[in-house]
Structures are given as C-alpha cells and as structure tokens.
C-alpha cells in the first residue's frame, strides 16, 4: 500500500497514552504504514494527560517502528477538560513550531464517556461534570483543530476524528457522550464545507476492548447492555484496538470521500 503522506509530515495524535490512540501511533510508523514515506525532519506529537502512558507509546513505536530516525516523537501533556490549560499550552506549543511541513495529519481521538450508571435525568451532576465532558469531547478539540489548521495553512491538511455509533444513534445513559460525538461529526462536515482543501474523516472504531469499553461492560446501568459487552468479550467479537487502528490506516491509505463517516466494518453514513 502506498501512502499519500509523503515528504515532511507533522502528525498529532490526541489520546495517545492508551487504547485506540496508543495502537494508532504504533501502527502508523511500521513499514508500509501511514507514515512510511515521511522524510527526515518529520514530527509525531503524542498528546494527553498521562506522560508515562505516552512515554510507553513512544517506546513501543521506537521498538516496532520502521526507520524512526526520520521522526522527532514529542510527548505533550495537556488536560483537555481544562480549557485554560488547553488554550495556553496549545498556543505556546504552536508558536514554537515551524510551518514548513508538506503534510499535516491530526487525529482528534481523546475522549471520555461520562457517567453511564444513570439516565439523562435520574441523577443530576454538578455543572462542572457536564462541562468537563463537553470540553474533552468537543470544546478543546474544536480549539485544537482550528488552531492547528491555521498554523499549518500551507501544508496539505488532513483531520481525522474518532467518532462512534453514538454520533448516529441515541443510546441509553449516554446522552452527553452521544451529543458531543454527533456535534463533532457535524463540525467536521462544516470544516470541509468552509475549507474544501482540508480533508476530513470521522471514523467509528467499533466496540473496542479499552478502558471505555470496560466501563460500558462493567458499569452501564442497563443490564442487557452490560451483558452484550460481556458476551462480545467472552466470544472474542469485541474489537481489538489494533485491528480497528489497522482498518482506519487502510481507509486513509486507500481513499475516502472527505467529510465522510466510515466505521470499522466499512459502512459509511
């Protein structure tokens, strides 16, 4: 498979300390992977809160990656639930970055599920809890994407958003998560409408065996939901984050329509 991400590349992955983001980071630097044709001076930025998790990701990339001497792999700790932290650190970070990259690819992947033990109104939460969820899943990503796109305005820009079936379907006990995912999908479509030169993709990775998947399996209020996650885990039909990341990287390398929603099973919508 050939990669369209040639030349000097700047790649940022949010939520790179665990789960899907960790898998994605490792797979893209393998031989034949998304960044296999990136040249010297390319940069990969891992962004989340947990520095030791991101360092583990970097070590795994260095161990398994193909010709890692081409890349400067940076670990950047930002708390996306804190908009002041996100704004200050993002602007400070971007100010120091050269604009001279052929390709920009940003994976907006960090996410939080919120409380799945209650329905929308049977238990209320302090307003800060709602704020935190929307900050991580929507407010900070919009800020990050717009600022990164503006900074790298002369690069070929690709933005990939980790979406979910929750963006398309109303799910029990997940009202805020569903709203934020649907909102981000629409933001991506609007971004493409305003800037047809920016390529966007919303990718739904499927029901994955990660911390978020565990939370749904163990703590969801609705018994049948917990049971269906348990069954997927037992039967091995739960999606491995590495398999889902492989599928996403294939979609990116084989082509898709900008603005599209694609899921791990190849369905568009």
Ligand X SMILES: NC(=O)c1ccc[n+]([C@@H]2O[C@H](COP(=O)([O-])OP(=O)(O)OC[C@H]3O[C@@H](n4cnc5c(N)ncnc54)[C@H](OP(=O)(O)O)[C@@H]3O)[C@@H](O)[C@H]2O)c1
Binding residues vs ligand X (CB under 6 A)? 15, 17-21, 48-50, 53, 79-81, 109-112, 136, 162, 164, 205, 207-208, 210-213
State the minimum distance, in angstroms, from the CB of residue 244 to ligand X. Answer: 9
State the minimum distance, in angstroms, from the CB of residue 7 to ligand X. Answer: 28
Q: Sheet with 71-77: list strands edge to edge.
A: 71-77, 42-48, 9-14, 103-108, 156-162, 199-204, 260-263
For residue 42 the two structure tokens come to 């390319």
Instruction: Give 51-79 as a 3 state SS string.
Output: HHHHHHHHHHHHHHCCCHHHEEEEEEECC
Residue 47 CA from chain centroid, whole number = 10
CB-wise, 164 or 192, nearer to ligand X? 164
CA distance 243 to 217: 20
CA distance 135 to 114: 12
CB-wise, 80 or 198, nearer to ligand X? 80
Q: C-alpha dihedral over 45, 215, 79, 174, to 10 degrees?
A: 110
CA distance 267 to 58: 32
CB-wise, 69 or 265, nearer to ligand X? 265
State the minimum distance, in angstroms, from the CB of residue 222 to ligand X. Answer: 16
State the minimum distance, in angstroms, from the CB of residue 206 to ligand X. Answer: 6
CB-wise, 205 or 259, nearer to ligand X? 205
State the minimum distance, in angstroms, from the CB of residue 184 to ligand X. Answer: 9
By the 8 A CB rule, do 51 and 83 touch? no
State the minimum distance, in angstroms, from the CB of residue 197 to ligand X. Answer: 26
- Sign of the CA dihedral running 194, 199, 200, 201: positive
CB-wise, 36 or 135, nearer to ligand X? 135
CB-wise, 101 or 238, nearer to ligand X? 238
């Amino acid at each position: 498979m050939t990669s369209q991400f040639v030349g000097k590349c700047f790649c940022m992955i949010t939520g790179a300390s665990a789960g899907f983001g960790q898998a994605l980071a490792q797979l893209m630097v393998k031989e034949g992977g998304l960044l296999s044709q990136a040249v010297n001076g390319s940069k990969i930025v891992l962004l989340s809160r947990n520095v030791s998790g991101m360092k583990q990701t970097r070590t795994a990339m260095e161990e398994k990656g193909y010709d890692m001497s081409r890349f400067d792999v940076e670990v950047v700790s930002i708390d996306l639930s804190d908009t002041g932290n996100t704004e200050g650190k993002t602007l400070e970070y971007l100010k120091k970055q050269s604009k001279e990259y052929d390709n920009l690819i940003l994976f907006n992947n960090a996410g939080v599920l919120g409380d799945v033990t209650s329905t929308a109104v049977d238990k209320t939460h302090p307003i800060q809890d709602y704020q935190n969820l929307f900050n991580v899943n929507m407010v900070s990503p919009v800020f990050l994407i717009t600022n990164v796109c503006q900074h790298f305005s002369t690069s070929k820009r690709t933005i990939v958003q980790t979406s979910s079936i929750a963006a398309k379907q109303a799910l029990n006990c997940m009202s805020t998560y569903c709203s934020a995912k649907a909102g981000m999908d629409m933001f991506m479509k609007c971004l493409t409408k305003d800037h047809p030169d920016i390529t966007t993709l919303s990718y739904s990775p499927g029901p994955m065996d990660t911390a978020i998947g565990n939370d749904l399996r163990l703590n969801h209020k609705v018994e049948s939901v917990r049971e269906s996650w348990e069954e997927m885990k037992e039967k091995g039909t739960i999606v491995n984050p590495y398999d889902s990341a492989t599928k996403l990287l294939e979609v990116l390398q084989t082509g898709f329509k900008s603005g599209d929603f694609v899921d791990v099973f190849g369905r568009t919508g």
